[in-house]
Amino acid sequence: MKAIAPGKLILSGEYAVVFGRPALAMAIDRSAVAEVRAEADRGDRGVTFDLPGVNAHERYTVRALRALQRRVTKNYRLFLDGQLGIREVLRKPIELFQFGFIMVLDGLHLKLGEALNLRVDSTIPIGCGLGSSAASVLSALRAVGHYFRVDFRPDWYYEYSLEAERMQHGFPSGVDSYISLHGGCARFQDGRAERIPLPRTPITLVDTGAPSTTTGQGVEQVRIRHGASRIWDDFAGVTRAMEAALASNDPEAIRAAIRENHRLLRAIGVVPDRVAAFAREVEACGGAAKVCGAGAIAGDAAGIVLVSADALPPDLYARFGYTPLPVRGEPLGVRLV
């Protein structure tokens, strides 16, 4: 059984969406693919988790998975109590999938009748703000659900995906899971989404490298420093301006909104100096650039940056050591293939 789920791109409102303000997000044509198959040659009823993207390959019994689930859940409670950092809830990336698998198995009262192999591949850059974890978890959950012939209920998979995301990100807004589940483009706020058309404006993404800090760490620090700030109302205003600009397909208005969004992200401390220098050069050429995910609260890399410009110097990306990524909107969400 094989399922595919798209990544996501936040066009406006990153961080603000965690604090109850709107965000615009769209699915993109980079995806995670999960495959579940029986391992007939195994004598037990364990599960092999195979994640080549992070060079991880582990086998667990159901009993061991339940023990892992208890440990991770306890760690998350300690995080909520301020006794652990979010990065300490999961010990390694593969545990996200192990937690998600046993959560669905027990949550839907399923029985493991044979040994299984769960493999997840992805074309989404990891840890760069494109929703790789949500897409990977959703593709895995969808494949597992179909393997066990569970009727597909989108609200189930959304809640299970969001619960797994909490273990990784602490206080996820749900936008990653929603967009990967449904595809297309939406305005997202307080767990509710309103569908809007996919943008017609060409999109260029730039990979500045994997951040040295996680989304969860970024949200933790921003919550401490700016959680009660009125800056989130400014973010909301920018998102409204971006939505209007996208609807009218007005390139100059889109760039004005991107520049203001970038300024606000700088103000909350999630844009490294090197990325800000790149954005200044883009703006000097009449364009605009901003980070599209959590950015970073330390180091030089900030994951994915969105660029809108008519023309840039041919050597600009190379001078910063950045890689442009072709990307298009994806109308479809998680599905069987």
String of DSSP letters for 3-15: EEEEEEEEEE-TT
φ and ψ at residue 245, rounded to 5 degrees: -65, -40
Give the chain's residues under pLDDT 70: 41-44
Do 260 and 118 fall within a single domain? no
> Which two tokens mark 243?
């939505």
Do 188 and 208 fall within a single domain? no
Distance CA 318, CA 304 (A): 16
Q: Which residues contact 102 (CB under 8 A, 6 or more apart)?
A: 62, 65, 66, 68, 69
Do 33 and 179 fall within a single domain? yes
Residue 204 CA neighbour count, 13 Å, CB half: 17
pLDDT of residue 169: 84
Q: DSSP assignment, residue 171?
A: S
Distance CA 50, CA 228 (A): 42
pLDDT of residue 241: 96
CATH number for the domain that contains residue 299: 3.30.70.890
Q: How many domains does the chain have?
A: 2
Distance CA 66, CA 77 (A): 17
Secondary element (H or E) of residue 218: helix 215-226
Residue tagged 């970024």 (tokens): 218
Question: Global pTM?
Answer: 0.86
Distance CA 147, CA 64 (A): 21
Q: What is the pLDDT of residues 41-60, one digit of tens each?
A: 666 678 999 988 888 889 99
Q: Which residues contact 292 (CB under 8 A, 6 or more apart)?
A: 9, 10, 11, 14, 129, 130, 205, 303, 304, 305, 306
Do 43 and 116 fall within a single domain? yes
CB atoms within 10 A of CB 212: 15
Do 129 and 261 fall within a single domain? no
Residue 20 CA from chain centroid, whole number: 18
Secondary element (H or E) of residue 258: helix 251-267
Do 74 and 148 fall within a single domain? yes
Q: Could you list the residue range(s) of the whole structural domain that residue 156 is in?
A: 2-196+330-336
